Structures are given as C-alpha cells and as structure tokens.
C-alpha cells in the first residue's frame, strides 16, 4: 500500500550511492542464501524513497491513527539516538556509514526458545503490519509515524517465556567503532530498556523493522527497534541485539542516568511534569512555525488499550 506519498522526491530523500549499493549487496546476499530470500519479508523490490527495500505484504492495522503522518524528512532527520551523537541532527549525519546487516538478535533468560537468531530468521515467522502511531518525546514534541512492524506479543509468545518471566529487557548494539556516539560516555552503554511482560504483550507494542513502507532507516534504529506509543519516546530502544526474559525489573538507561527525571514506566502523562518542564502540551513537528502547542493526552491517547495495565499503580510515584 502507499501512504503519504509525496508529490515529488526531494534530493535529501534519495540515499547516497554508497548506501544504495550496500542495500543491493544485502539483497544479493539474501538471494544467494537461497530459501531465506524467498520468504524473508525484507527483500522486496527496491523503490528508492529512502533508497531502501520496499517491504512487501504489509497489512493495515485498526490501531493506526488517521492523523496526517509527519514528513519522511522530519522523521529521519530529527532524532534522539545518542549512539550517533547527542544533537537531533546527529543520527542522520553520522549513521550514513552504519551497515545494519548482517544482524543477530540474542534471546535469553526465562524462555523455552532462546538462542542467537539471524535477523531474517528472527522476523520470518511473523506478519508485517503498518502501525501509524503518535510518538510523544519526553522533550515535549511529537510526531505521527507510519511504522512497519511486528506485534511484540507474537514475538514474546513465539519464544515461550516461562512463569518466571515477569519483565522483558532489551539491549542496543554496543560497538563504538560503528556507533561513534558511544565513544563518549554520555550514557552508560549499551542503551537498555525494559517492559513488564504485560506491557510487552499488549497489542499496541511492536518491534518496528520499517518506516513509510520501507526498511527502517539508520537514524530511526535500523534494523529493529521497539515502539510503545503510550510511553515517552526514549522507551523505544533502537538497534536491538538482545531480548531477555527476566524476573526482576530490568535497568533502563535514562532511569540509571537521571532517576529523578526519568522513571521505569515513562507513560505519557500530561499531569506529571518533568522536573524541568511541563508535560501538559506538546509541539507537533511539521505543524508550522506559528502553530501553537497542542494538549498532551493521557497515555498519548492510547488509554483505551493500556490504562488497565496500571490500575492501582500511583502514576505520580511510578512516572
């Protein structure tokens, strides 16, 4: 399907030749690998929008919002991905040489089906869905992003967690040679995040592998990242290499760095201010220079799907 197709393609949307070639190499490698090429969803026909492979057989989802998506340019050039630098434009500038494939994901902890999986094998059993979600950053700005992803609940069930698995922990690749931002200790690398098993199996939670119908661009967390749209953006860990089923609440990077400012839950909540700024309103990226901020919604407007997860929990204390 086509979504938010622009009238024309701007030069900035066309990937560098090097990147394009790398993609072709990846596809060629996939074809050479035989069987994988036929079934792996990431190997569709090349449509140079971001220059990435067009993802085939993407289903629509009832969870998608009908709000206008933020432009491809804005979604891919205004990012918090400190592995590639701490400024918003850094990930777009410094991730151009990052080659996300081949990629392996380790699944460990309290589950029956653990091990190290090749990216293609990891996502092969699942359907791809387009989820057009609101994304609310803790810094009081927001976007509407057409992700392509896999239900995290399906992935969790597939790996058969045991009754001891009360939380799911995630870890980003730690490789300062490929991720220049990790050469500075601005955070305790690798980036880590976590969800309760109930959150991880909520139907809204996905692992995204695509954006705007194509493979996920590097600044957005290629090749695979978490999307939990009722939480602040920093929960959406990028470049995931490890998924662990654990018994205790796992550490999360911003909570370690500044526990008074960033909690484990990090649910979008207009009534609980960040200590240094209000969370009552948000600036929608692309809304224009003179547009006012808009009110922030509880759970980013996804209360119907997730509010029941937090019954009896004091959200002022558990921010």
13 vs 74, beta carbon nearer another protein: 74
> Beta strands 281-284 and 141-151: pairing type?
parallel
Is there binding between residue 251 and another protein (CB under 8 A)?
A: no
**CA triple 39-216-228, angle to 5 deg:** 105
Among 36, 280, 297, 309, binds another protein (CB under 8 A): 280
Among 8, 34, 163, 292, binds another protein (CB under 8 A): 292
CB of 18 to another protein, least distance (A): 24
Judged by DSSP in three states, 240 sits in strand
Peptide bond before 318: cis, by omega within 30 degrees of 0? no
What is the contact mask toward another protein in residues 39 to 78, using x (rule: CB under 8 A)?
----------------------------------xx--xx
213 token code pair? 């119908």
124 vs 283, beta carbon nearer another protein: 283
Among 139, 158, 166, 309, binds another protein (CB under 8 A): 139
Is there binding between residue 86 and another protein (CB under 8 A)?
A: yes
| Near another protein in 164-193, by CB under 8 A | 184, 186-187
The DSSP string of 103-115 is -EEEEEESBSS-E
Q: Quote the CA–CA distance of 26 and 29 in Å, as a whole number.
A: 5
Nearest alpha-carbon partner for 249 in 261, 238, 263: 263
**SS3 of the chain: helix, strand, coil, percent, to 5:** 25, 25, 50
CB of 50 to another protein, least distance (A): 16
Nearest alpha-carbon partner for 240 in 133, 150, 301: 150
Judged by DSSP in three states, 87 sits in coil
Is there binding between residue 276 and another protein (CB under 8 A)?
A: yes
CB of 299 to another protein, least distance (A): 22
Could you list the residues that contact another protein (CB under 8 A)?
A: 73-74, 77-78, 82, 86, 88-89, 139, 141, 184, 186-187, 257-258, 273, 275-278, 280-281, 283, 285-286, 289-290, 292-293
């Amino acid at each position: 399907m086509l979504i938010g197709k622009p009238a024309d393609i701007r030069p900035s949307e066309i990937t560098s030749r090097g990147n394009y070639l790398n993609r072709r190499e990846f596809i060629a490698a996939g074809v050479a690998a035989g069987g994988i090429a036929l079934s792996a969803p990431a190997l569709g026909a090349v449509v140079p929008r971001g220059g990435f492979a067009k993802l085939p057989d993407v289903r629509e989802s009832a969870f998608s919002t009908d709000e206008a998506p933020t432009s491809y340019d804005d979604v891919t050039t205004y990012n918090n991905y400190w592995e590639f630098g701490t400024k918003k434009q850094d990930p777009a500038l410094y991730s151009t040489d990052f080659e996300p494939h081949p990629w392996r994901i380790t699944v460990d902890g309290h589950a029956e089906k653990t091990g190290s999986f090749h990216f293609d094998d990891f996502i092969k059993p699942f359907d791809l869905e387009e989820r057009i979600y609101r994304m609310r950053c803790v810094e009081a700005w927001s976007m509407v992003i057409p992700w392509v992803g896999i239900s995290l609940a399906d992935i969790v069930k597939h790996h058969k967690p045991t009754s001891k698995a009360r939380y799911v922990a995630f870890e980003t690749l730690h490789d300062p040679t490929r991720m220049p931002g990790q050469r500075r200790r601005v955070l305790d690398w690798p980036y880590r995040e976590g969800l309760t098993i109930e959150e991880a199996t909520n139907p809204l939670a996905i692992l995204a592998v695509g954006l705007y119908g194509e493979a996920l661009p590097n600044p957005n967390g290629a090749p695979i990242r978490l999307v939990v749209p009722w939480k602040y953006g920093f929960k959406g860990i990028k470049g995931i290499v490890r998924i662990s089923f654990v018994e205790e609440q796992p550490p999360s990077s911003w909570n370690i760095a500044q526990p008074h400012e960033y909690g484990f839950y990090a649910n979008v909540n207009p009534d609980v201010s960040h200590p240094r700024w209000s969370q009552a309103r948000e600036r929608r990226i692309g809304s224009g220079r003179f547009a006012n901020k808009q009110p922030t919604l509880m759970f980013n407007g996804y209360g119907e799907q997730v509010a029941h997860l937090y019954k009896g929990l004091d959200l002022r204390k558990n921010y």
